[in-house]
Amino acid sequence: MTTTVGYGPYTYTMDTEWAKVPAHIKLGYCHGIVTDAADNVYLFHTKGPSEGMTGPSVVKFDAHGNYLAAWGDEFGGGGAHGMLLHVEDGREVLYLTDINRGLVVKTTLDGEVLLELGVPDRPDLYDAERKYRPTDVAVAPGGDFYVADGYGQNYVHRYKADGTYVSSFGGKGSGVGELSCPHGVSIDTRRGEPEVYVADRSNNRIQVFTLEGEHKRFIDENMDWPCSFFFHEGDMYVPDLHSRVTIFDSNDRLITHLGEDQQLYKREGWPNLPADAFRANRFSSPHGLCVDPGGNIYVAEWTVNGRVTKLTKQG
């Protein structure tokens, strides 16, 4: 079904049935989503418990939602989570996180493994009881990359491009520089000097850091449960798990909420709700998001029903 959401230059046709998933693939919890230079869309998902949580976790579609390919069985079992597409030396690569195996994996667009990193060499932070469960990756202009341990010990770890460990910042808490479920991480270059944006989800805020991990400021207005970020033409797009997509301007001020439903996430059993609970003009649980060069938005929702939505920009 399609409907119209937004206003003015932020008006979109919302299609919750965009993805034409073949019969041999059953989508489950949809976590990450990216687009490549050819406007193909890559979805990172893991099947629900009733489906055994097995099968290919990366599913590729064209811009019209037609199925192209699938791979990544090794991310099954519920591990598939964060997904980043980055251009390195003229080649597009994917950074993927596996929360169950405690891995960050860099691959080609068809799944060839280029780099694999396990638990950081920090015995003061990790042991048999204190697990490492990475949720997202960001890459800085110089090639260093940052890994958010959102479901583990609440740190962000910095690495050189070759995977050499550099430093960490964060730690569990609600104070300045402390994090509670640093679910998403991204590098913002809109102000000239690169900054690290961290979705401090359980603290209902975003924290901004220098590349060295020094706290700079909070963003907590019009914020609920931010999952991650996508920067496009000066704006910041945030999938908010509490049933909305939020767009902020270049000064991180609210432009609009899209598809907002402030009742659905409060329902018992959310996000695993029956099909009749979902509406064509409302979101349930946006978890991942990307924007293509034309300004169209793709949203992956954390629901056992496996929903992927395309918002086609109007005008």
pTM of the model: 0.96
What is 119-226's CATH superfamily?
A: TolB, C-terminal domain (2.120.10.30)
Whole-angstrom Cα distance, residue 208 to residue 83? 21
pLDDT tens-digit readout, 52-108: 656 799 999 999 999 999 999 999 888 999 999 999 999 999 999 999 999 999 999
Whole-angstrom Cα distance, residue 130 to residue 178? 17
Which pLDDT score, from 0 to 100, does residue 76 have?
Answer: 83
How far CA 179 is from CA of 19, 206, 223, 248, 290, in Å, comes to 35, 10, 15, 22, 24
In the block, which residue shows the tokens 């359980």? Answer: 202
pLDDT tens-digit readout, 211-264: 999 999 999 999 999 999 999 999 999 999 999 999 999 999 999 999 999 999
* Count of C-beta atoms within a 10 Å radius of residue 156: 25
Mapping DSSP to helix (H, G, I), strand (E, B) and coil, where does residue 201 land? helix
CB 211 within 8 A of CB 196: yes
